[in-house]
Chains A and B, each alone.
Chain A
């Protein structure tokens, strides 16, 4: 029971599939309706694929868990029509402040430039996020089977069979593709006996959510070695509904039961916020963490996404955010393969691209963890030296690592990319997730990403008589948008700036809005060949 949140109850209801004599077949089944499985279901549903979610529980996330929802994640949910209530409900922030003892060492701004529809971060409790995703999925006709626990999996060459347990007994289903989104303790991973390699950390952290009406700013405050938690770190972060996340490092030897007792938590909170600040405890949890992943995310017709595929430490907010991007990466590929418009090999690129991204997340979160909890005396000594220099010396500040907050991966070297033949300035290289910018279209203000949408898109800078509005090849099509007076008006000049859009420049984007390739002038042959490569045909 929480004070500020009422867990919805989603009742079990019997599916006709349970009365069939033979297992009923579906194109895609998703095991687990956490934030990642739900995003996956929504993506596929919006593409017209009736993917069914099988969820063992009957409600949303137990506790606030993932609170920092990153820009790219929100952009994905926005495209799916789910982000508006989240942004409305959540706390928008982009400033972080880092303290050592009582000194503010420095602060950082995660979105130093203007001209993006979505803010750098919105803090919103995971249970709210999931509730909004469920609302949206229901609205578009998606199906979630509550209290359906998947207990067995038998992959075969042409299909996958699963066993499902329900309050009314077990039944079986078959599917073309199974997506395992069953979280950190993934039963699918264990059923298939897949090794899960990486580092396990021993340090423990006590999380408590409190309800308080305080006028602290909506910033991420991080302390190294504060007076109220000597020798350890602490974090204060605001969530929706006047709930605040407090996170105390408590050391490897802490006793979970003891730490979680109210009589021990309350003095900690008072020491942090002052005796006078009134608050109510909302949620308490002790966690440790791992930085590790599966060796492969694709196993034939079974795909692992989210925490089932990889885990990171929470510093950096890369767990949930990374998982949502897995779903975004897999959705369009499954769609094209199921429609027969792309070869099966396109699905291998999910493995390649998301392992690359996952390694980036693991690297960043491992480094933060090593800085926060140094493993050796010499490592601690360097860490403390960096902190002691950081207030006075600018050079030491970039070395302070209290979490490198989630950024989407630029998929350098992906086999789906077409490499540049000319030189370009800026960050929009092949593999990069498209940067947003304000536009005017048809007399109305809007955003570039809303126009890129969820299909293959071309973007041509400057009105070009010779460029068609649409290209078709092998059942695929590219809608071409023009940046200029007759199309998307680059009101601030930021599209041109962010994309180095000299007149005549042409960009090709994938359905997940990553850059496929770019050219200084439109060449139909080259664009179509890049399209073929982007769907795994080369």
Chain B
């Protein structure tokens, strides 16, 4: 059985999360920020693990750009 991509809100304190995400980039150049984001995607992808979920997420992300 494979899971499907979760689109409901799962983060309990959204404002705390968002602030930490933005803070993560404090003092970085644009290039460094891009590197951090890239590493983050790899780290989170591994945490998710499920290839179907990841494919769905890839598709959704690409669609909006």
Contacts and interface: CB of A to CB of B under 8 A. Distances in A.
A interface, how many residues as a size bin? 20 to 34
B30 A378 contact: yes
A401 B15 contact: yes
Interface in A384-410: 385-386, 388-389, 392-395, 397-399, 401, 404
B28 to A, nearest CB: 7
A377 B28 CA distance: 11
A393 B7 contact: yes
Interface in A171-192: none
A382 B14 CA distance: 14
B33 interface: yes
A395 B10 CA distance: 7
Contacts of A404: 15
Given A377-B30, A378-B28, A399-B14, A394 B9 contact: yes
B7 A395 contact: yes
Nearest to B13: A398
Nearest to B34: A378
A15 interface: no
Contacts of A388: 64-65
Nearest to A388: B64
Given A394-B7, A395-B8, A397-B9, A367 B19 contact: yes
A276 interface: no
Interface string B18-54: 1101100100101001100100000000000000000
A21 interface: no
A370 interface: yes
Nearest to A379: B22
B61 to A, nearest CB: 9
Most A Cβ at <10 Å: residue of B9, B28, B37: B9
B interface, how many residues as a size bin? 20 to 34
Contact of A382 (B21, B28, B64): B21
Given A378-B33, A379-B25, A394-B9, A367 B64 contact: no
Given A377-B30, A378-B25, A367 B7 contact: no
A377 B8 CA distance: 27
A395 B9 contact: yes
A493 B17 CA distance: 36
B33 A367 contact: no
A367 B22 CA distance: 10
Nearest to B12: A398
Contact of B14 (A378, A389, A393, A398): A398
Given A367-B19, A370-B22, A382-B21, A394 B14 contact: no
A401 B18 contact: yes
Contacts of B33: 376-378
A529 to B, nearest CB: 34
Contacts of B7: 392-395
Contacts of A379: 22, 25
Nearest to B6: A395
B8 A394 contact: yes
B29 to A, nearest CB: 10
A284 to B, nearest CB: 32
A398 B60 CA distance: 18
B15 to A, nearest CB: 5
Contacts of B65: 388
A399 B8 contact: no
B8 to A, nearest CB: 5
B9 A367 contact: no
A29 B30 CA distance: 54
A367 B15 CA distance: 8
Contacts of A398: 9, 11, 14
B33 to A, nearest CB: 4
Contacts of B21: 382
Nearest to B21: A382
Contacts of A395: 6-11
The 9 A-B residue pairs whose C-beta atoms are closest, nearest first, are: A398-B14, A378-B33, A395-B9, A388-B64, A393-B7, A378-B25, A394-B8, A379-B22, A399-B14
Interface of A: 364, 367, 370-371, 376-379, 382, 385-386, 388-389, 392-395, 397-399, 401, 404
Given A377-B33, A393-B60, 14 more contacts: A364-B15, A367-B19, A370-B22, A371-B18, A376-B25, A378-B37, A379-B25, A382-B18, A389-B64, A394-B7, A395-B8, A399-B17, A399-B18, A401-B15
23 contacts: A367-B18, A370-B22, A376-B25, A376-B33, A377-B33, A378-B22, A378-B25, A378-B28, A378-B30, A378-B37, A385-B64, A386-B18, A388-B64, A388-B65, A392-B60, A394-B7, A394-B8, A395-B9, A397-B9, A398-B11, A401-B15, A401-B18, A404-B15
